[in-house]
A and B are shown apart, each in its own frame.
Chain A
Amino acid sequence: MLKLFALITVASLAGALPVASAGDITGTITLKGPPPKEKEITPLMEDPNCGKLHTKIPTTRFYVVGPKAELADVVVSIEGISGKSTGASAPPVILDQKGCEYIPSILAVQTDQKIIVKNSDPILHNVHNVPAAGSGNKERNEAQLPNGADLTFSFPKPESFLKFKCDVHLWMFAWVSIFDHPYFAVSDKDGSFKIANVPPGKYKLQAAHRKAGTVTREIEVKDGEPVKADFTLEAK
Chain B
Amino acid sequence: MASKGLHRFAVLTALATLGLIGVGGLVTSHGAGMAVPDWPNTYGYNMFCFPISQWVGGIFYEHTHRLVASAVGLLTVVLTLWLHGTSARPFMRWGGWLLLLLGVAIAIALPPRRVDGLVVGLTGLASLSASWVWPRCQPSPKWLRWCGLVALLAVILQGVLGGLRVVLLQDALGIVHATLAQLFLVLLCAIALFTSRWWQTAPVRVPPAAGHQLPTLFLFATLLILAQLTLGAVMRHQHAGLAIPDFPLAYGKLWPDMDSESVARYNAQRLEILAVNPITAFQIALQMIHRLLAVLILGAVAFAAWSARRALGAGHCLSRLGLVWLGLILAQVLLGAITIWSDKAADIATAHVLVGALSLALGALISMSLVAASRQNGADYRIANQRPAAESRLRSEPQPSASAGAA
- With A47-B56, A124-B54, A143-B38 in contact, do A167 and B271 touch (Cβ < 8 Å)? no
Among B200-208, B228-236, B273-281, B321-329, the stretch in contact with A: B273-281
Nearest residue, chain A, Cβ from B264: A213
| Residue A66 lies at the interface, judged by CB distance under 8 Å to chain B | no
CB-CB contacts of A134-145 with B at 8 A, as 1s and 0s? Answer: 000001111101
Q: Which residues of B contact A42 (CB under 8 A)?
A: 273
Docked pose: A145 CA to B33 CA in angstroms: 18
Known interface pairs A143-B43, A170-B31. Does A36 touch B271 (Cβ–Cβ under 8 Å)?
yes
Interface string of B247-270 (1 = CB under 8 A from A): 000000000000000001100110
Q: Does B59 lie at the interface of the complex (its beta carbon under 8 Å from any beta carbon of A)?
A: yes
- CB-CB under 8 A from A123, the residues of chain B are 56
Is A118 located at the chain interface by the 8 A CB criterion?
Answer: no
Given A211-B268, A213-B268, A236-B265 in contact, is the A167-B34 Cβ separation under 8 Å? yes
Tell me the residues in window 134-164 of chain A with beta carbons closer than 8 Å to chain B beta carbons: 139-143, 145, 163
Decide if A236 touches B37 in the complex (CB within 8 Å): no
Q: Tell me if A43 is interfacial: C-beta within 8 Å of chain B.
A: yes
Which A residues are CB-close (under 8 A) to B54?
A: 124
CA distance A43 to B274 in the complex (A): 9
The reply to whether the CB of A173 lies closer than 8 angstroms to some CB of chain B is yes
* Interface-central residue, B30, B34, B38, by most chain A CB under 10 Å: B34
* A60 contacts partner chain B, Cβ-Cβ < 8 Å: yes
A189 within 8 A of B: no
State the majority secondary structure of interface residues on A.
loop
CA distance A126 to B32 in the complex (A): 11
Pick from A41, A124, A130, A167: contact of B273, CB below 8 A.
A41
CB atoms of B274 and A170 under 8 A apart? yes
Cα distance A212–B271 in the bound complex, in angstroms? 12
In chain A, residues 38-73, which have Cβ atoms closer than 8 Å to a Cβ of chain B? Answer: 38-39, 41-43, 47-50, 60, 62
B59 adjacent to A168 (CB under 8 Å): yes
- Tell whether, in the assembled complex, residue A167 and residue B38 are in contact, meaning their CB atoms are under 8 Å apart: no
Q: Is B35 in contact with A167, judged by CB distance below 8 angstroms?
A: yes
- The closest CB in chain A to the CB of B170 belongs to A139
Residue contact A43 to B37, C-beta cutoff 8 Å? no
A65–chain B nearest beta-carbon distance, Å = 14
From 164 to 192 in chain A, residues with beta carbon under 8 angstroms from any chain B beta carbon are 165-173
Q: Is the CB of B273 within 8 A of A39?
A: yes
Check B30–A128 contact: CB distance below 8 A: no
Residues of A within 8 A of B265 (CB): 236
The verdict on B57 contacting chain A, using a C-beta distance below 8 Å, is yes
Interface size class of chain A, counting residues whose CB lies under 8 Å from the partner chain: 35 or more
In chain B, what residue has the closest Cβ to A168?
B57
In the assembled complex, B19 has its CB within 8 A of some CB on chain A: no
Q: Is there a chain A Cβ closer than 8 Å to B58's Cβ? A: yes
Q: Is B169 an interface residue (CB 8 A)?
A: yes
Question: Which of the residues B32, B166, B269, B277 comes within 8 Å of A130, measured between beta carbons?
Answer: B277
Contact across chains for B31 and A141 when beta carbons are under 8 A apart: no
Which residues of B5-36 have CB atoms within 8 Å of chain A's CB atoms? Answer: 30-36
* Chain A residues within 8 Å of B32, by CB: 167-168, 170
Q: Which of B34, B56, B277 contacts A124 (CB 8 A)?
A: B56
| A143→B37 contact, CB < 8 A | yes
Say whether A170 contacts B275, CB under 8 Å. yes
The answer, among A43, A60, A166, for a CB contact under 8 Å with B271, is A60
A38–B31 CB distance below 8 A: no
Q: In the assembled complex, how far is the CB of residue A210 from the closest CB belonging to chain B, in whole angstroms?
A: 8
Provide the residues of chain B in CB contact with A163, threshold 8 Å.
Answer: 275, 277
B251 CB to nearest A CB, Å: 14
**Inter-subunit contact A236/B59 (CB<8 Å):** no
**Complex contact A170–B271 (CB within 8 A):** no
B95-120: CB near A (< 8 Å → 1, else 0) gives: 00000000000000000000000000
Chain B residue numbers with a CB within 8 Å of A36 are: 269, 271
Q: How far apart sit A171 and B54, CA to CA, in the bound complex (Å)? A: 19
Contacts A47-B56, A141-B169, A236-B265: A168 and B274 contacting too (C-beta < 8 A)?
Answer: no
Closest-by-CB residue of B relative to A126 is: B37
A124-B43, A124-B56, A168-B58 given; name 12 further pairs at CB < 8 Å. A49-B57, A50-B57, A60-B273, A124-B59, A126-B36, A145-B43, A166-B275, A167-B62, A170-B32, A170-B274, A173-B275, A236-B265
B-contacting residues of A (Cβ < 8 Å)? 36, 38-39, 41-43, 47-50, 60, 62, 123-124, 126, 128, 130, 139-143, 145, 163, 165-173, 211-213, 236
Sample (19) of A-B pairs whose CB atoms are under 8 Å apart: A38-B271, A39-B271, A47-B56, A47-B57, A60-B272, A126-B37, A128-B37, A140-B169, A141-B169, A166-B275, A167-B33, A168-B32, A168-B35, A168-B57, A168-B59, A169-B57, A171-B273, A212-B268, A213-B264
Q: Which residues from chain B sit less than 8 Å from chain A, CB to CB?
A: 30-38, 43-44, 54, 56-59, 62, 166, 169, 264-265, 268-269, 271-275, 277
Q: Pick the 9 closest A-B CB pairs, nearest first.
A: A173-B275, A236-B268, A165-B275, A168-B57, A167-B35, A167-B34, A141-B37, A170-B274, A170-B31
